[in-house]
Chains A and B, each alone.
Chain A
Amino acid sequence: MSLLLKTAARNILRNSRRSFMTGSAVAAGALAMTLFGGFVSYIFAGLETSNVQRVGHLSVFRSGYFLFGSGNPAAYGIDDYRRVMDLIAQDPVIGPRLSVITPTQSLVGIAGNFSGGNQASKTFFGVGLIPSARDRMLQWDERHTGQVHRPDGRLSDDDQSRGLVGVGLARILALCGPLHIRDCPPAPARGSEPGDATKPREDLVRLAELDGAPSSETKSVSPRLEILSATAGGAPNVVSLAVAGAEAQGVRELDDNFIAMHLGLAQQLVYGRGEHKATAIVLQLHRSEDMAVVRTRLERLIADDHLDLEVRDVRDLSPFYVQVVAMFGAIFIFISLVMGVIVLFAVVNTMTMNVMERTNEIGTIRAMGVRRGGVRMQFILEGALIGALGAIVGVILAVAIAALVNGAGWTWIPPGNSSPTAFKVNVLGNPMLIASAWAVLTLVATAAALIPANRAARLSVVDALRHV
C-alpha cells in the first residue's frame, strides 16, 4: 500500500501543473460548497431560532383549531388547560426536555385609537401570552446565532393592561408619534365624511367604559387602544390596552395586524366572566432534536387521557420556514451538483491524459506481475489523492474566508426577519458540513478516476508495451 501511495503521490507531482489545475477545480468546488453550505446553515439556524422563539417547538391545540380555528379562536379553547399543562410538564419523558411550557390565547377583533383626537381603527390578529414565558422563549438560542432578545420589561406578568403592536399596525393606528417609532410617517390628514371608517367610534368608547377598563380619556404614559372582540358566546366585548411598544413582525401582513397582550386580558376579552381557556399550549424544548420524541409522547398522553387535542410542530405553524429551508436546500444541492460535475470532468480529463502518457509504464508493471486490479487501484488512488488534497485546500480556504466574513460585521435582513441581523457563514462550527464537502468531492474525484482507471486496467500488456 505504501508503494501504491508513494507512486500515486509522485505521479501527481510529476504532472504538477495538470494536477494543480485539477486540484484547483476540486478546491473551488469544495470552497463553493462549504461557503454556501455555511451560509445556508446560518440561515437555517437563524430561521429555526426565530421561529422557535416565536411559536416554540410544539403546540397543543383543540382538535380542529389548526385547520378551522383561526376565524373563531374562542370556539376552540382548551378546557382545563392548566391540568393539561401539569400533565405534560410532569411527564418523565417530556418534563426534562422542556424549556418553557406556556398557554396562549389567539383572538381577532378591531383595535381603535380614539385618544388625542385620533379616530383610527383596524382589524387585528392578537395573541394573549404570559410575558415572563415569552421572555424566556426569546432567550432560546441552541444554534448560537446570537439572536437572543433581552427582556425589555415592556410587558409584565403583573400588569395585564399592557401590550405590544406590530409597527405596521402602530402606523395605521397613528401610534408612531407616541411610541417614538423611527421611519414611521404620520397618516395624511383626511376630512371626516359620513360613513367614513375613520369616524369616531363612540360605541367602542362606551363599551370600554361599561367594561370597567380605563377609557381613552385616561391620562397615561402609554397610548391606549380600545380592543373590540367577540366573546365565546358571541357577544361583543371591549377592553383597553396600554401600548407599551411596537415590534416589527417581518411579514407585512402580520406587521399590519398584530397585537400581543397579556393572557389574562385576552381571556377577559374572549371569555368575559366565563371559564378562561387557552387556544394553545406552547412547548419550547431545550433541544430541537427532541421534537420527534416529545411529539410522539404528547400524542400518546393525549390518546391515553382521551383528550380532544392535537399536536402541531414549528414546521406546521411556520410553513414559510419550511419553504425557505427547502428552497435553500435545493439551491445548495444544485450548486453541489454543478461543482460535482465540474470536478468529475476535470478529474476524468486529467486521469485520461495520465493513462495515455503512461501506457508503456502500465505495460511494464503488468508484465512484472501487477494485476489488472492493481493498475486500476493505482489510478483510482491518484484521482482520490487529487480530490482529497484539492478538497482539503478548498475547505481550509472556506474556513479562512468565513472567518473574514464573520469578522467583517456585515448585517442583512434574512427572509422572515424584521430587523438587520449579522451576516455570518457558519463553517467552523459545522464540522459535518466540512466533512461532507470534503468527502463528497473526494468521492466524486475517486469515482471520476474509475473510468480511466478501468481503461488502464483493460489495456493489453503487449499493446501497452508497444506504446511509444
Chain B
Amino acid sequence: MNTVDVKAAEGYGTTGGTTRARPDEDAAVRLRDVAKSYTTGEVEVPALRGITFDIPYHRFSMVVGASGSGKSTLLNLIGCIDAPTLGSVQVCGEKVGTLDDDALADFRAKNIGFIFQTFSLIPVLSAFENVEYPLVLVGTPEAERRRTTNALLEAVGLAAHAKRRPNELSGGQRQRVAIARALVKAPQVVLADEPTANLDSETGASIVELMRRVQAESRTTFVFATHDPQLMSQADETFVIRDGTLIEHRTQRSAP
C-alpha cells in the first residue's frame, strides 16, 4: 500500500490551518480553501476549515473521519447540494459555485450519482422505476432507458426483483437498487455517504464487493464518506478529515 502523508508532500502542507493535497489537472473534484460553517442560533459552528485537495478520476476514494469531522459536509459540497462559505469547488472541470440552482440540478442529474446511508429509494416506485428515474431526468429515450435499466439491475443481481417496491426488498437489496440507480446514467462521479452503515457486516461486505466490481468495470470515480473499516480497506485514495481539516491523504493503490 502506497501511503502519502499530505503534510509531507513537496510544496504542500499546512499553512494557516489549510491542508493541501497535490493538485491534479485531471482531477474529478478540486477543492480550494473550502470552508463551511453553520449558524446555530447566534453561534457559528465551523464544519470545514479551509480544505484544499483534489480527487482523481476513476478512483475509489474515501473521505474518512470520526462522526462530526465534516466528511458528510464535504461530500455535500462535492455533490453540489450545498455551497461552501468560502473557497471554491470544481467538479468534473466545472466551477459549481458559478451555477444557479437549476443549472446545479441539471449538473447533478448528468454528472453525479448518489448512494445514501438510508438507501433513499422512492417508495411508490418499483426497483426498475427507481433505477430508471435518473434516465428520465436527463431525457433518455424510453427504449434505451429500458435496456440500460435492465442491464444495471442484472449487474446488481436484482433482475428478478425489478417489479418489487422498496418495502418488498431487504436492506441489502435496497442498497443494490440504490447503487444501480447511482450508476445507471454513467455519471462522472458517484458519491456514497456511509453506504454500509445500515447493513449487517455480511451484507455490507457484499455491497462493498459489488461497488468495487462495478467501479472496476465502469471506471467511475467513487467518493465515499465512511468510517467502515471494511470499506476503507478497499480504498485507492483516502482523505482523512478531523475537525473540518484534512490531516492526511493516503494513496493505497496506484492509478492503473
Question: Which residues does A use to contact B, with CB under 8 Å?
Answer: 3, 6-7, 10-11, 13-14, 360-361, 363-374, 460-462, 465
Closest chain B residue to A2, Cβ basis: B136
Q: Which of B82, B116, B137 contacts A364 (CB 8 A)?
A: B116
Min CB distance A85 to B, Å, is: 71
Chain B interfacial positions (CB closer than 8 Å to A): 76, 79, 81-82, 101-102, 105-110, 112, 114, 116, 118, 120, 122-125, 129, 133-134, 136-138, 181
In the assembled complex, 7 residue pairs joining A and B whose CB atoms fall closer than 8 Å, in A order, are A11-B124, A365-B133, A367-B114, A368-B133, A369-B107, A369-B137, A374-B105
Contacts of B105 in A (CB 8 A): 366, 369-372, 374
- Please give the distance in Å from B227's CB to the nearest CB on chain A: 18
List, in ascending order, chain A residues with CB within 8 A of B76's CB.
Answer: 462
Q: Which of A365, A366, A460 contacts B122 (CB 8 A)?
A: A365
B residues within 8 A CB of A361?
Answer: 120, 122-123
With the chains together, A448 CA to B118 CA distance in Å?
Answer: 32
Q: Is the CB of A461 within 8 A of B82?
A: yes
CB nearest to A372 among chain B residues: B101
- A52–B106 Cα distance when bound, in Å, is 64
How far, in angstroms, from A465 to B117 measured CA to CA in the complex?
Answer: 10
CB distance from B96 to the nearest CB of A (A): 13
Q: How far is the CA of A416 from the CA of B81 in the complex (A)?
A: 69
Given contacts A462-B76, A465-B81, contact A369 B110 (CB under 8 A): yes
Chain A's closest residue to B79 (CB) is A367
Closest to B76 in A: A462
| B109 smallest CB distance to A (angstroms) | 2
**In whole Å, how far is B197's beta carbon from the nearest beta carbon of chain A?**
14
A368 & B125 in contact (Cβ 8 Å cutoff): no
- Inter-chain contacts of A465 with B (CB < 8 A): 81, 116, 120
A14/B123 contact (C-beta < 8 A), A367-B108, A462-B81 known: yes
Distance in angstroms between the alpha carbons of A13 and B134 in the assembled complex: 23
Given contacts A365-B133, A368-B181, 13 further A-B contacts (CB under 8 A): A3-B129, A6-B125, A7-B125, A10-B124, A13-B124, A14-B124, A361-B123, A364-B120, A368-B109, A368-B137, A369-B107, A369-B110, A465-B120
Q: For residue B130, give the distance in angstroms from its CB to the closest CB of chain A.
A: 10
State how many angstroms separate the Cβ of A369 from the closest Cβ of chain B. Answer: 2
Q: For residue A10, which residues in chain B have a CB less than 8 angstroms away from its CB?
A: 124-125
Report how far A291 CA is from B137 CA in the complex, Å: 56
Chain A positions within 8 Å of B112 at CB level: 369
Distance in angstroms between the alpha carbons of A306 and B106 in the assembled complex: 74
Kindly state the separation between the CA atoms of A73 and B253 in the bound complex, as whole angstroms: 113
Shortest beta-carbon distance from B91 to chain A in Å: 13
Residue of B nearest to A468 (CB): B118
- The residue in chain B whose Cβ has the minimal distance to the Cβ of A460 is B82
Contacts of B122 in A (CB 8 A): 7, 361, 364-365
CB-nearest residue of chain A to B101 = A372
B residues in contact with A369, CB < 8 Å: 105-110, 112, 134, 137-138
Cα distance, A105 to B123, chains bound together (Å): 79
For the complex, give the distance between the alpha carbons of A366 and B79 in Å: 11
A-B pairs with lowest CB-CB distance, top 8 = A369-B109, A10-B124, A461-B81, A364-B120, A369-B108, A371-B105, A462-B82, A369-B137
Contact of A371 (CB < 8 Å), options: B102, B129, B133, B134: B102
Specify which chain A residues have a CB less than 8 angstroms from the CB of B124 in the assembled complex.
Answer: 7, 10-11, 13-14
Q: Is the CB of A368 within 8 A of B108?
A: yes
With a cutoff of 8 Å between Cβ atoms, the chain A residues found around residue B138 in the complex are 369
**A366 proximity list for chain B (CB < 8 A):** 81, 105
**A residues less than 8 Å from B82 (CB atoms):** 460-462
Rounded to whole Å, the gap between the CB of A96 and the closest CB of chain B is 57
Q: How far is the CA of A461 from the CA of B136 in the complex (A)?
A: 20
Chain A, Cβ-Cβ closest to B81: A461
Residue in A361, A367, A374, A460 with the greatest tally of chain B CB atoms within 10 Å: A367
The answer for the CA separation of A213 and B253 in the assembled complex, in Å, is: 129
Select which of B110, B118, B129, B137 is within 8 A of A370 by beta carbon. B137
Which of chain B's residues have a CB closer than 8 A to the CB of A6? 125, 129
Chain B residues positioned under 8 Å from A370 (CB to CB): 105, 109, 137
Instruction: A24 to B91: give the CA distance in the assembly, Å.
Output: 49
In the complex formed, the residue of A with least CB distance to B137 is: A369
> What CA separation (Å) do A368 and B123 show in the bound complex?
15
Chain B residues positioned under 8 Å from A11 (CB to CB) = 124
Question: CB < 8 Å: which of A3, A7, A368 contacts B114?
Answer: A368
Alpha-carbon distance between A38 and B230 when the two chains are bound, in angstroms: 71
- CA A460 – CA B76 in complex, angstroms? 12
- Bound Cα distance A365, B134 (Å): 9
Please indicate the chain A residues that have their CB under 8 angstroms from the CB of B181 in the complex: 368
**Which of the listed residues B76, B81, B112, B114 has the most CB atoms from chain A within 10 Å of its own CB?**
B81
- Chain B residues with Cβ below 8 Å from A371 are 101-102, 105-106
Give Cα distance in the complex from A298 to B68, angstroms.
Answer: 87
**Inside 8 A of A462's CB, which chain B residues have their CB?**
76, 81-82
CA distance A10 to B122 in the complex (A): 11
Contacts of B133 in A (CB 8 A): 3, 365, 368
Alpha-carbon distance A6/B130, docked complex (angstroms): 12
Closest residue of chain A to B102 (Cβ to Cβ) is A371
A462 to B74 alpha-carbon distance, docked (Å): 12
Q: For the complex, what is the distance from the CA of A154 to the CA of B56, rounded to whole Å? A: 105
Q: Complex Cα distance A361/B125, Å?
A: 12
Given the contacts A462-B76, A462-B82, A368 and B134 also touching, CB distance less than 8 Å = yes
